[in-house]
Structure 1
Amino acid sequence: MIDWATCTTDDLLQSIPPAEDDRWEFKSATLLEASSKNEFLKVLSKQVSAFANSGGGNLVFGLSDRKSVEPCEQTVGNQPMKDYLATMVEQSVEYPLRHFRIHRIPLTGDNTNSIFVIAVEDSPAAPHQAKSDKHYYYRIDGHTKPAPHFHVELLRQRETRAVLEILLVEYHVEKFLGTETGIVEILMVLHIRNVSFQSAASWGVLVEHTKQDDCWEIRTTGEHFDETRCFLGSPTPLLPQASTKLCIPLRGRAYDQSGALQAINKLWKSVGFSFRPVTQNHVGQPVRFGDWPDGIKTTVAMNEFERQISSVLPQD
């Protein structure tokens, strides 16, 4: 098991197989150069389709067939390469791929340079078609090949689980009850999508407050987030590929005997939740707010939350 958080190129070389196989594909760093963009998009589309249709796998940029490390470009224009890859992977196939992670692997002894690993998970939305040439691919004997008709049909007809994904979390400030009480009422809105081909007859989200404090409580019941809570969705089934929202009313309380104003200004920083979507036949992995591949949605949501907090505070 690779510890992606601490992995360096030496660690990776010790963990991967001696040659490409059904779960590993190595590509040169030159594909990430601006002059190779067209070729990069073709390769990415084929390999992502193949791994997503074959139970998952890892596409490595910056490693030759002979396992020689080649430092990759670190940016595309002003955008970090990791963010760029996240966007390109999602858009490289139909349906858009959700179940993947981008790992930046620093060179051993040189954190300024790195290679990149695209870790594709088993996708409940398979089969995925490559956008580059409108073909379906799969992995067999360490190679990426066009998927035969029977393989595509098996993927379409297999009995799948009802799998939900949380696409975005928003926080809307609804009321500020004054600096004497230090209370802010907000509405947490979870945007949820059924990414599988099976209806979610019953579903919900397990929510855990990860900050280990008592600043936040459920507004309707007054219960503190001292343990994981399950918030049930609508009794109406969530159909395959359909999206919906789950709204959770929260109350934040800033404790500060010298006055709540300064504490309220910092209250938004105590927002820290972990989410685990559940259905009648599937329990998703916990996802902390901020763990999405590109991080952009998190930044926007938190900046907006800070702006709303500031807008309801009295001005000096």
Structure 2
Amino acid sequence: MDFSSAYFGKPLSELTYEDIVEYFTVPRQESETIEFKSFPKQAAFDAGLQNVLKGISAFLNSTGGLLIWGAPKGVKEAGREDIFVGELQPVKDLREKDSLINRISSSIIPLPIGIAVQILSRGTDHLYIFEIQQSTYRPHQYDTRYYVRLDGQSKPAPHYLVDALMKRVTYPNLNGVIKFHEIQHDADGFYLNIEVGIFNFSVLQNEEQISFKILCDGGYFPRSGDLTSNFRRWHYNNEGTELTYDNFVSVLHYGNPRTYTDQIRIKTTQINKNDGMLSFLLSFGGKYSPAKASIYVLRWPSNIPRNTNELLAHVEENLLFADSLKKTPEDTLSSFLGR
């Protein structure tokens, strides 16, 4: 996959140093397919490369992606993952591309293929951009450990994933997002138009029987008053604050996303009661894929902007559902038992 074109609009071979500078003029977050590594002053090249090798190994074992070495240092913001923006922290050591690829090949087992690197320089500052394809020979080890991309980070692989990779058992990689569209208002409040998109990013593996659910805190679905909808595959519960769509897609192919549109009614009295906050939880999954969730928190201002993305106060997308709940097994059992 051409990850560079997906993020920068041009292939890896055509990237420039200025492209990376421009990219980080706005806040960026890591995801399943992009990772950022900074190079602090006085840092040692080999020590930094160890973290890069861990990230490359994780991409090989997952769906592939881009790794930018020389990115800004990540900064934590309240309630959000690390944000990367502003001044780059470039690598000060320049290494030949061939020697770097040899170093990667000798450090990761089995021998990895499908790794390309572009070195971008400006004076004594250097950026290393790695484009990694999903490996057909996974799982790969680095430093005796298996790494994968989970929740936008390179982490040691859980046992069940290593076991699945060893047995060549794969799961379709579903992604689900909510896009917020135009807003209309009347004397009592607002109508917010939303669009759910479900994507399958597994090239050779279809997913079946995909369902999703949306929970809304601070608004409700006005179509919940249409009783006929409750006899279809989608239905509303909890006074219209919850939408469930069973078997939304029978078969989902790679490169053919499916979308669903609906509307949220937001009353001024409810927004005031919630201190101007509106939140959504999108959960989704299919027959073979693990359940995931995307979380959105909107801050409702007094003046509605034209660009609804400006309403977003917090976003976490495509988390494994178990991680999104942040509950231990004991918490889940206690909740079920009412203890």
Fold shared, TM-score > 0.5 on shorter chain: no
Q: TM-score, normalised by structure 2?
A: 0.41
